Amino acid sequence: MRRICFLILLTVAGCTTNPVRNGPPWRVPKSDFGGAKPLNLSGWYSAQDYPLTAIRAGEQGYVTVEFTIGDNGRPIRCRVVRSSGYPDLDAVPCRALMERAIFKPATDSNGHARETVASTSMSFWTKN
């Protein structure tokens, strides 16, 4: 039976992994939320978001997305800026962010909420 390790590498400080410690063999870019603060980071993705067809096909990698956070703290636009090379994996981050992500919006110099552009990555990795 294959053990599935679904890694979500979304941290403000960034995250690097070391394959010697059973992590994936790639570096994921640091997230940048443009001054907005994620309120529910742990709820953005789950193991169920890794498409079963992609797992069966051995598709692994990471996807980097750029998205706009509205002045209400919700993502309003999202696009892939670095593909994993697999359409099924590339479709997951934007869909999940648009449905689940909530932020304390960035503010302007007067303290008013404003739109901001953000980026983050999602990693898909299985361990046999």
Question: 69-119: per-residue pLDDT in tens?
Answer: 999 999 999 999 999 999 999 999 999 999 999 999 999 999 999 999 999
- β-partners of residue 124 are 61
Q: Is 109 exposed, middle or buried (0-12, 13-18, 19+ CB in 10 A)?
A: exposed
The pLDDT value given to residue 85: 96
pLDDT averaged over every residue in the chain? 85
List of long-range contacts for 107-111, beta carbons under 8 Å, 24+ apart: 107/35
Domains of the chain listed by start with CATH number: 19-124 (3.30.2420)
Closest by CA position to 22, among listed 111, 120, 104, 128: 128
Tokens of 98: 């648009």
